[in-house]
Amino acid sequence: MVVIGFCEKWWMTALRGAVALVFGLTVLVWPDPDDAVLAVAFGVFALVDGLVLGAVAVVGRDVLEQWWIALVEGVVGMVVGLVALTWPGIGGLGLLSLLAAWAVLTGVFEIETAVRLRRLTGSDAWLFLAGGLSLLVGIALIAVPKDDPLEIAWAIGVFGVAFGGVLLVAAGRLRRLARAARPSAPRQA
């Protein structure tokens, strides 16, 4: 029953996905984004994502053996988001480094959470994919740093869209698991 309760909170994963998708699309369609636009967009995204993850940790503490990992991921997101929002002039490589560090940490935490959730639900690999995508993007941003705002915008915009899409699919999977696990109502004769 506890797993059903956790899967019933599928909308939290959907919210994270929707925020990531909006973030990615905003960055991609913004005409000639500068460092301040990128910092504010990323800051809002990381802050909201961190807040939702904090809520996931609180809701999942009865289900997830190590719920505190989601809480740490949420706190990291909130701190990174606040840094980006309070320091919008962080600029090119500084912003890229902040985003890369966040992506690597998020990727590791997502993969760990996916392992735990898979043990409980036998769920498919969508959360693994989200974590792997985040980890790979973080490593790529560290390995090939760019200082051109347009290249940075495209990289993080495409990441936001892909990450958001994967999280939305994962949320749909959690929703289906919750529906399948609900006891069916007795039929009236």
Domains located in the chain, CATH noted:
2-181 (1.25.40)
Mean pLDDT of the chain: 82
| Cα–Cα distance for residue pair 176/164, rounded to 1 Å | 18
pLDDT tens profile 71-102: 898 999 999 999 989 987 776 678 788 888 99
Average pLDDT value for residue range 22-35 = 87
Query: Is a pLDDT exceeding 90 seen at residue 145?
Result: no
SS3 of residue 66 by DSSP: coil
pLDDT of the residue at 1:
44
| Cα–Cα distance for residue pair 86/2, rounded to 1 Å | 39
What percentage of residues in the chain have a pLDDT greater than 90?
22
| Cα–Cα distance for residue pair 94/40, rounded to 1 Å | 13
